Amino acid sequence: MQSTHAQISYQDKSKFYKELQSEASGILEKEWFVNLANISALLRQHLPDINWVGFYLLHNNELLLSSFQGLPACTRIALGKGVCGTAAKTLQTQLVANVDEFPGHIVCDAASKSEIVIPVIHDGKLLGVLDVDAPILNRFDQEDKKGLEEIVHILTKGTTWPEKFT
């Protein structure tokens, strides 16, 4: 694993995400659980103004908490419930400027004010979601969406996933 642990500048988001994607590619191993842990840590290290980042994995038809960085979180989320469950059910990234205005938002950390959730899909199959929370309103924009979706793509393509994941 090659990682510089230097802070990547967030001023130019396009450049920021290219550098972050390069670092994400460089730390990937074959094992899925190692990659989820390291990608969570990488995002927590470099994304400014966030208070939680991690993965929920599809297991027995619900989302189950997996690798994360931040305060303890909700352990199980039903498909279609909250921001994570909605992203999983619709297979669409959810970009939420104000979580208090999201119908059915599940409060795990009262400090969270905005959120982005990206479905993790491999070979057309939902594996789970990447969830990133921020303690400020309107934290995430379309550039964050594009950059984080690409990191999830790098993760899914560079990882050996179990045959039966659920």
**In the structure, what pLDDT confidence band is assigned to residue 11 with cuts at 50, 70 and 90?**
confident
Domain that holds residue 17: 13-157
In a domain, 162, yes or no: no
52-95 per-position pLDDT tens digit: 999 999 999 999 999 999 999 999 999 999 999 999 999 999 99
Q: Please, are residues 138 and 88 in contact by the beta-carbon 8 Å criterion?
A: no
Please tell me the predicted confidence (pLDDT) of residue 4.
Answer: 45
Please tell me the predicted confidence (pLDDT) of residue 6.
Answer: 57
In a domain, 3, yes or no: no
In a domain, 60, yes or no: yes
pTM to 2 decimals? 0.92
DSSP-based three-state secondary structure for 93: coil
In a domain, 165, yes or no: no
The residues near 6 (Cβ < 8 Å, ≥ 6 apart) are: none
3-state helix, strand, coil in the chain (%, to 5): 35, 25, 40
In a domain, 23, yes or no: yes
Mean pLDDT of 32-55: 97
The candidate with the shortest Cα–Cα distance to 159, out of 41, 45, 34, is: 34
Q: What is the CATH number of the domain that holds 31?
A: 3.30.450.40
In a domain, 149, yes or no: yes
pLDDT higher than threshold 60 for residue 24:
yes
Instruction: Indicate the length of the chain as a whole number.
Output: 166
Per the structure, the count of domains in the chain is 1
CA 93 centroid distance within chain: 10
The DSSP symbol for 8 reads: P
Q: Please, are residues 149 and 121 in contact by the beta-carbon 8 Å criterion?
A: no
In a domain, 134, yes or no: yes
Tokens of 163: 């045959």
101-151 per-position pLDDT tens digit: 988 888 887 889 999 999 999 999 999 999 999 999 999 999 999 999 999
Q: Give residue 135's region: left, alpha or beta (phi > 0; psi -120 to 50).
A: alpha
